[in-house]
């Protein structure tokens, strides 16, 4: 089915099976990481340290150190939480395109996308825990037998659905990532020279040898877990959006929220994957694995999603006007399109709906520097989207007497920057200690895609 020449040759350069490992494992097998690695790592450690200070302050002194108040109860923490969860959507989305829609050109991207997913979900999970204020009572969110009745959780609450959805998502994406990683770790084990490295990778690869039975089971497990993860792409962010949509706050109480959040999540996730793939392609010389065609295809998908984003923004505005609800009209027209937060609103529109339209141009899709810049702009835009949704709606709700403004404090920024540090540090460790491109899967597509000429001439 996929042996057509639509995608052309996926891995150019007539590579042999042995060469794949040589090409992909060079950052892992290098004696020491390159100098830039240390520079970025120390920066990330600095950011993480700042974050640890923020977390320490939050935990010891409480969320009074944040800028949130009685009216604006959800500030930076929830903005960052939604932002990170959204970024974490691309890994699973990519794997599902690969597995279920048989888009085998994605083979070289999924490993990074999944690693990014796991890290982003970990970063996201920090914020709701901090937002509890008394983090040591965090286990209250789990239904456990207690002496208060036993009083159980409210299972109709979207906040509880969140707990279930996000822990499931973290577990599933981690398991899915690791099961595909085992054969590659086994290859690292066999190639390792130093004793320590051999030991560590022998432990991590679980004694994998690659018999026919083993492959059958591994492939079946991957397809099953991937298939089960597929609905999570849609459900996790839908459930996050219900935190907002099931409330009665103007601007949140809309039925468009679940699809709107899911599309936005996939958009920012794709942007982050693209950012990472451009970096990887450049610094690790993976030009034969992450080709221009890959980036071109992702950019095309992003134009499509960007138009969806524009449609969602327009629909929200239209429905606010069409519903003739005065609070809705006030929130959208007087507090977003115009008003105190107008800058944030127009940054959101520009970054998410207008600038990505540049991807229509082939020249821009071929220019990696501009593509890189646009992907960063998209993620900034997506941050502003959450800012607009959260802060505008609750800072000015029904009673003008209870209006309040919100500005984040340095502790809140520290938490946010800290999670970025954790993310960057995790990505750097991934670059250094894990095969960045799925080798066994790449070898699987090597032959099928390089003999396209043969297929054409009918000697297959």
Partner 1 sequence: MEIINIIGIYNDPDDLIKGVKKVKEEGIAIKNIFSPFPVHGLPEILGLETRMPLLTFLYGVFGASVTFAFLYWTSVVSYPLKFGGKPLNSLSFIIIMFVLVIFVSVLFTFLTFFIRQKIGPGKKAVMIDKRTIDDKFAIVIEKDPAFTMEQLIKISNILRENGAVEVNEEIQPEGYKEERDE
Q: How far is the CB of 200 from partner 1 (least distance, A)?
A: 11
Smallest distance from the beta carbon of 114 to partner 1, in angstroms?
14
The site map against partner 1 for 142-181 (x = CB under 8 A) is -x-----xxxx-xxxx--xx--xx-xx--xx--xx--x--
Given a contact cutoff of 8 angstroms between Cβ atoms, the answer to whether 408 and 31 are in contact is no
Shortest Å, Cβ 211 to partner 1:
5
With CB under 8 A as the contact rule, the residue among 193, 212, 248, 399 that binds partner 1 is: 212
Binding mask 298-317 for partner 1 (x = CB under 8 A): --------------------
Residue 430 neighbours by CB under 8 Å, 6+ apart: 112, 115, 119, 436
Residues 6 or more apart from 443 whose CB is under 8 A from it?
Answer: 17, 20
Three-class SS of residue 191?
helix
- State yes or no: residue 138 binds partner 1 (CB under 8 A): no
Asked if 224 touches partner 1 (CB under 8 A), the answer is: yes
> What is the rounded distance in angstroms from the CA atom of residue 192 to the CA atom of residue 41?
24
Minimum distance from residue 224 beta carbon to partner 1 (Å): 5
DSSP class of residue 63 equals: G
Instruction: Rank residues 93 and 347 by Cβ distance to partner 1 and give the closer one.
Output: 93
76 binds partner 1 (CB under 8 A): no
102 neighbors 134 (Cβ within 8 angstroms)? no
Q: What is the DSSP track for 155-167? A: TT-HHHHHHHHHH
**Residues 181, 187, 189, 194: what is their CA dihedral angle, to the nearest 10 degrees?**
-120
Return all residues near 231 (Cβ < 8 A) that are at least 6 apart. Answer: none
Which of 3, 102, 217, 282 binds partner 1 (CB under 8 A)? It is 217
249 is an interface residue for partner 1 by CB under 8 A: no
Residue with smaller CB distance to partner 1, 215 or 321: 215
| Residue corresponding to tokens 């914020």 | 127
114 contributes a contact to partner 1 by CB under 8 A: no
Q: How far is the CB of 154 from partner 1 (least distance, A)?
A: 5
Measured from the CB atom, is 133 or 231 closer to partner 1?
231
From candidates 191, 197, 253, 432, binder to partner 1 by CB under 8 A: 191
- Contact by Cβ (8 Å): 243, 159: yes
- With contact defined as beta carbons under 8 Å apart, do 418 and 48 qualify? yes
Shortest CB 457 distance to partner 1, Å: 17
Quick check: bond before 150 cis, omega within 30?
A: yes
| 83, 383 Cβ separation under 8 angstroms | yes
Answer yes or no whether residue 45 interacts with partner 1 by CB under 8 A: no
Give, in degrees to the nearest 5, the angle at Cα 239 between 237 and 242.
110
Angstrom distances, CA of residue 446 to CA of 10, 260, 272, 291, 440: 8, 38, 26, 14, 10
Contact flags string 401-440 toward partner 1, x per CB under 8 A: ---------------------------------------x
Query: How crowded is the C-beta side of 322, counted as CA atoms within 13 Å?
Result: 7
Give whichever of 217 and 287 is closer to partner 1, judged by the CB atom: 217
Helix/strand/coil (H/E/C) assignment for every residue in 285-318: CCCCCCCHHHHHHHHHHHHHHHHHHHHHHHHHHH
**Chosen residue from 207, 248, 324, 401 binding partner 1 by CB under 8 A:** 207
Q: Is 458 in the site for partner 1 (CB under 8 A)?
A: no
Residue 229 near partner 1 by CB under 8 A: yes
* Cβ closest to partner 1, residue 45 vs residue 174: 174
Residue 247 sits in the site that holds partner 1 (CB under 8 A): no
Q: Which is nearer to partner 1, 20 or 276 (CB)?
A: 20
The residue from 115, 443, 449, 452 that contacts partner 1 (CB under 8 A) is 443
Q: Could you say which of 9, 221, 344, 355 contacts partner 1 (CB under 8 A)?
A: 221
How far, in Å, CA of 437 to CA of 279, rounded? 13
DSSP 27: H
E-strand ranges in 65-115 read none
Q: Look at the alpha carbons of 432, 436, 440, 443 in this order and tell me if their dihedral is positive or negative.
A: negative
Query: Using the rule CB under 8 A, which residue among 10, 11, 85, 187 binds partner 1?
Result: 187
Q: Which is nearer to partner 1, 4 or 366 (CB)?
A: 4
Q: Residue 212 Cβ, how far from partner 1 at the closest point, in Å?
A: 4
User: Where along the sequence are the contacts to partner 1 (CB under 8 A)?
Assistant: 16-18, 20-21, 143, 149-152, 154-157, 160-161, 164-165, 167-168, 171-172, 175-176, 179, 182-183, 186-187, 189-191, 202-221, 224-225, 228-229, 231-232, 235, 239, 440-441, 443-444, 447
């Amino acid at each position: 089915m996929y042996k057509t020449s639509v995608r052309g040759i996926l891995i150019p350069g007539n590579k042999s099976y042995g060469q794949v490992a040589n090409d992909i494992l060079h950052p892992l097998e290098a004696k020491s990481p390159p100098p830039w690695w240390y520079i970025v790592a120390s920066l990330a450690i600095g950011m993480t340290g700042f974050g640890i200070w923020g977390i320490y302050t939050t935990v010891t002194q409480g969320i009074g150190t944040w800028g949130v108040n009685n009216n604006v109860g959800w500030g930076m923490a929830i903005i960052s939480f939604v932002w990170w969860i959204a970024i974490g959507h691309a890994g699973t989305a990519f794997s599902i395109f690969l597995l279920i829609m048989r888009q085998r050109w994605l083979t070289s991207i999924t490993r990074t996308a999944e690693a990014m997913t796991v890290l982003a979900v970990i970063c996201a999970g920090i914020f709701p825990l901090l937002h509890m204020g008394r983090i040591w009572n965090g286990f209250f969110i789990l239904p456990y037998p207690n002496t208060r009745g036993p009083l159980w959780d409210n299972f109709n609450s979207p906040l509880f659905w969140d707990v279930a959805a996000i822990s499931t998502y973290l577990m599933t994406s981690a398991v899915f990532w690791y099961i595909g990683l085992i054969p590659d770790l086994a290859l690292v084990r066999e190639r390792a020279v130093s004793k320590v490295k051999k030991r560590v990778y022998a432990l991590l690869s679980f004694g994998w040898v690659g018999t026919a039975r083993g492959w059958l089971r591994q492939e079946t497990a991957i397809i099953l877990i991937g298939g089960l993860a597929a609905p999570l792409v849609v459900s996790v962010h839908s459930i996050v959006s219900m935190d907002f949509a099931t409330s009665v706050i103007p601007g949140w109480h809309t039925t468009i929220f679940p699809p709107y959040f899911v599309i936005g999540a996939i958009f920012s996730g794709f942007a982050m994957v693209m950012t990472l793939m451009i970096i990887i392609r450049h610094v690790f010389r993976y030009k034969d694995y992450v080709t221009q065609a890959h980036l071109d295809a992702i950019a095309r998908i992003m134009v499509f999603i960007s138009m969806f984003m524009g449609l969602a923004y327009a629909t929200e505005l239209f429905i606010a006007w069409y519903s003739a609800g005065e609070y809705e009209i006030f929130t959208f027209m007087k507090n977003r399109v115009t008003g105190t937060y107008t800058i944030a609103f127009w940054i959101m529109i520009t970054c998410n709906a207008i600038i990505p339209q540049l991807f229509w141009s082939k020249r821009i899709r071929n220019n990696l520097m501009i593509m890189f810049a646009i992907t960063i702009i998209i993620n900034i835009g997506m941050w502003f989207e959450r800012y607009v949704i959260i802060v505008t709606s609750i800072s000015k709700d029904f009673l003008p007497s209870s209006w309040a403004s919100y500005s984040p404090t340095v502790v809140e920024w520290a938490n946010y920057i800290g999670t970025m540090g954790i993310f960057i540090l995790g990505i750097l460790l991934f670059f250094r200690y894990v095969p960045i491109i799925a080798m066994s899967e790449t070898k699987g597509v090597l032959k099928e895609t390089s003999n396209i000429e043969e297929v054409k001439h009918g000697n297959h």
